[in-house]
Copies of this chain bind each other. A is one copy, B any other.
Amino acid sequence: MFQQITILGPGLLGASFALALKERGLCQCVQVWSRRAETRAQAKLATWCDRVFEQPGEACVGSELVVVCTPVETIVPLLEQIAPSLERDALVTDVGSTKSLICREARDLAEGLNFIGSHPMAGSERMGMAHARGDLFEGAACILTPLENATATEIARLSELWQAIGMHVVTLSPEKHDEIVAHISHLPHLLASSLCSYLADQEPEWKQLAGSGLRDTTRVAAGDSTLWQQILEQNREEVLRAIDGFETELHALKTALLDRDSPSVLKLLARGKQYRDQL
């Protein structure tokens, strides 16, 4: 499908993506750039990596596809940096968890930059290339957020690529994407983090008593703090709206408990169960 692609920032997502392509024979040559010398050294030893570069622009020369897999704050600066080195028809995408800011800024960057945002809804709290898995994306959703200037051909090409590694692809505006993920990803994450941060204030021995419920509920809170700080801040408006909505819901449960209003407590729990059973 591709002769040559470039991965900028081969962490868990970037490395898993390259591995998934190679395992399926979808790509001949994978070029890699990482800011960190240690990651570059690691990449040189990886089966899915063919060439490693010290400059992001150099890594993009000759590639049909460039996938930016770095933290959300660094995506646009990197696009700016690689723009002069890109092939004329190169397709550029990312795997960032926010889209409005990135897509808006990418549009203003350089004429002829064929950027279409991607957000594969896959990942793990275990970061880094060492945890890469060729099946990481299988069965998960991938949201594409093309801007008005994207051609149908480019959108189809990118869409087919994510589908080829097992994802079901949905196309949304960057704004709609950010509204949705604020609710189904960023809110769950910050609740898990807040819960853990709150429990960190309690007696340390309580931890020993925790069951699998607490472990599952808070798993995502083990994710990289800096990455998530950037994500929450880039999606600030929508995240704040989601927090407000959740606070109202939690307050309703609290009021029902205070009022010894069993039917309302039960109703809220049953509504939650019904939703969860459909997930």
Contacts and interface: CB of A to CB of B under 8 A. Distances in A.
Copies in the complex: 2
Contact of A211 (B141, B240, B243, B260): B141
A74 to B, nearest CB: 15
A253 interface: yes
A223 interface: yes
Interface stretch (A43-51, A107-115, A193-201): A193-201
A210 B168 CA distance: 12
Contacts of A223: 273
Interface residues of A, number: 86
A219 interface: yes
A187 B195 contact: yes
Interface stretch (A7-15, A52-60, A224-232): A224-232
23 contacts: A122-B212, A140-B211, A170-B208, A183-B199, A189-B213, A193-B253, A193-B268, A193-B269, A193-B273, A194-B253, A196-B275, A197-B253, A197-B268, A198-B248, A200-B272, A200-B274, A207-B279, A216-B220, A218-B272, A233-B265, A236-B260, A240-B258, A247-B247
